[in-house]
Amino acid sequence: MNEMTTVSYQQHAYSEGAKTLLARKPALFINGEWVASSHGETIAVEDPSSGQVVSHIADASVADTDRAVAAARAAFDDGRWSGLAPIARERIMLRLADLIEAHGDELAELEAIDVGKPKSMAGVVDIPGAVSHIRYMAGWAAKLGGETLQPYTMPNSGMFSYTIKEPVGVCAQIVPWNFPLLMACLKIAPALAAGCTIILKPAEQTSLTALRLADLIAEAGIPAGVVNVLTGYGHISGDRLVKHPDVDKVAFTGSTEIGKLINKNATDTLKHVTLELGGKSPVVVMPDVNVAETAPGAAGAIFFNSGQVCVAGSRLFVHKSIFDEVIEGIAATAPFWAPRPSLDPAAHMGPLVSKEQYDKVLGYIEAGKRDGASVAMGGDAPSADGYYVNPTVLVNVNPQMSVVREEIFGPVVVAQRFEDLDEVAKAANDTCFGLAAGIWTKDLGAMHKLASKIKAGTVWGNCHAMIDVALPFGGYKESGIGREQGRAGIEAYLESKSVIIKL
């Protein structure tokens, strides 16, 4: 499919600034200081565009994790952050947002090197997204408060009752590798606005921007111990955070499999848990659409970020009257989405994040072919040192196939035909996931009917993955527990206390 495009898979040169950051000594950010891990172990950082090891990060041990929790606990208990005037928290957060914005180019390059996503994409999606999460949540810091309430069973006079909102406490925030800085900021923003303290654990594959974020957190004036950044493995430091008795809340974004494990592990200490997990989001294309607009939209819904997106539109349902036309329209986007090295200015899609993901995604494509699916686009990987997979459309699939049922987390979409609205709503809901859905139609009745019938936390009409911090985000079914963003997002970091006083 790439015969019309000549792509070089050679990664472009790093800037001098990036080279300096990659040469940093591996360290953990605990209590406002950079410290080595207790056992001196490190984790290699790979550039997925080249498959080369380009840096090392510290591997936090259980002892390091305990140290970070103790720092966050002390910082919470002495009120050095929650005790500040809300206006002060707000201003410091806005300063952090400004610093991230000012370092946008450098952060976008780090993200490109670490994740494999095009730098240009990180510059217009990840970095502004991270900034907007902090700015929006900074505004909540000064707008939180309880209510004065009239008790139902007690006389009005002689009683005074009210609620107070308080921060939940020490928060472990565990984030994935697909949008590292964006996810880190999405997590820390509401916690900071609420007055919580934090141990942030980035994914072991992609920790570079979280480390840079720690520098900016210190520069912004967030007091020591309020945000601690622990690089390390999920099953070691992540696991310890989830089980640690001094952690009050765990916020996790990642796979459904690990989310279920975290939910179980957090039970013994009854932590607050919010989980944002996997998806197999349907994209429904009704017969009335303009195919010239919709086909590229459906392609973007799956190929953006190499399909490594929890809301990726990975199950495409097209009305049978326009099925072939839409599939041809998607296949025609192949040159645009042809994977390229992340620092190639022409790149719209990079490699997958790691060899592990590459093997997993190609394994699914092979399983799909074995099960009888046909390839309408891609279906293979170019020969290169990095982890490139060509954008892929599979047709002639059925609901029993693993490619239809399971989250692939790669640039692979399965396309099916449908005849009527009720049938497609049922098919769209035939999944254990319920994160998001896309509906493409000009028929307002069909749009609203489908938006109501589809069981998903977010539904998009005539667009996809338009995530905005003002709107709550989260999953139905096995796509998660709780909501992030918007008012619900800040409330997830607050306790409510009722005070009833007999005067």
Q: Which two structure tokens, joined as six digits, stand for 371?
A: 């099960």
- Give me the catalytic one of 310, 407, 484, 491: 310
Beta-bridged to residue 480, according to DSSP, are 276
By beta-carbon proximity to ligand ADP, the closer residue of 99 and 353 is 353
Instruction: Name the token pair of 430.
Output: 């035939």
Interface ranges with ligand ADP (CB under 6 A): 174-176, 201, 203-204, 233-235, 238-239, 242, 254-255, 258, 261-262
Smaller CB separation from ligand ADP, 15 or 42 = 42
Q: How far is the CB of 411 from ligand ADP (least distance, A)?
A: 15
Beta carbon of residue 278, minimum distance to ligand ADP (angstroms, whole number): 8
- Among residues 225, 181, 229, the alpha carbon closest in space to that of 201 is found at 229
Residue 164 neighbours by CB distance under 10 Å: 14
Cβ at position 379, least distance to ligand ADP in Å: 23
- N- to C-terminal Cα distance for the chain? 78
Dihedral class, residue 264 (left if φ above 0, else alpha if ψ from -120 to 50, else beta): alpha
Nearer Cβ to ligand ADP, position 297 or 474?
A: 474
Tell me the closest approach of the beta carbon of residue 184 to ligand ADP, in angstroms. 10
Token pair, residue 28, equals 């953990």
In the complex with ligand ADP, which residue's Cβ is closer, 89 or 271?
271
β partners of residue 363: none
Question: Which lies closer to ligand ADP via its Cβ, residue 307 or residue 486?
Answer: 307
Buried b or exposed e, range 117-130, using 16+ CB within 10 angstroms: bbbbbbbebbbbbb
Contacts 24+ apart (CB under 8 A), 366-374: 367/401, 367/402, 367/403, 368/394, 368/397, 368/401, 368/402, 368/403, 368/412, 368/414, 371/397, 371/400, 371/401, 371/402, 371/403, 372/396, 372/398, 372/401, 373/397, 373/401, 373/403, 373/414
Instruction: For residue 236, list its beta bridge partners.
Output: none
161-164 contact pairs (CB < 8 A, 24+): 161/498, 161/499, 161/500, 161/501, 162/498, 162/499, 163/496, 163/497, 163/498, 163/499, 164/496, 164/497, 164/499
Give strand ranges (E) for 16-59. Answer: 28-30, 33-35, 42-47, 52-58
Helix (H) or strand (E) holding 165: strand 159-167
Q: Which two tokens stand for residue 40?
A: 């001196």
Cβ neighbours for 422, distance < 8 A, ≥ 6 positions apart: 453
Q: Minimum CB separation from ligand ADP for residue 229, in Å? A: 12
Q: In terms of CB distance, is 238 or 350 closer to ligand ADP?
A: 238
Give me the least distance between CB of 81 and ligand ADP, in Å please: 24
Task: Tell me the closest approach of the beta carbon of residue 243 to ligand ADP, in angstroms.
Answer: 9
Catalytic residue among 276, 478, 484, 491: 276
CA atoms within 13 A on the CB side of 246: 16
| In the complex, least distance from residue 158 CB atom to ligand ADP, rounded to whole angstroms | 50
**By C-beta, is 1 or 236 nearer to ligand ADP?**
236
CB of residue 475 to ligand ADP, shortest distance in Å:
14
The maximal CA–CA distance of the chain, rounded, in angstroms, is: 82
Helices (H), 43-103: 62-77, 86-102
276 is catalytic: yes
Q: Say whether 406 sits in a helix, a strand or coil.
A: coil
CB-nearer residue toward ligand ADP: 357 or 441:
357
Number of continuous H segments (helices) and E segments (strands) in the chain: 18, 21
Beta strands in 332-453 (DSSP E): 374-377, 392-395, 412-418, 433-434, 436-440
Q: How far apart are alpha carbons 60 and 353 in whole angstroms? A: 22
CB of 205 to ligand ADP, least distance (A): 7
398 closest CA partner among 376, 374, 429: 374
State which residue, 239 or 491, has the beta carbon closest to ligand ADP.
Answer: 239
Q: With respect to ligand ADP, which residue has the nearer C-beta, 205 or 431?
A: 205
Residue nearest to ligand ADP (CB): 234
Task: Tell me if residue 204 is catalytic.
Answer: no
Q: Catalytic residue positions? A: 276, 310
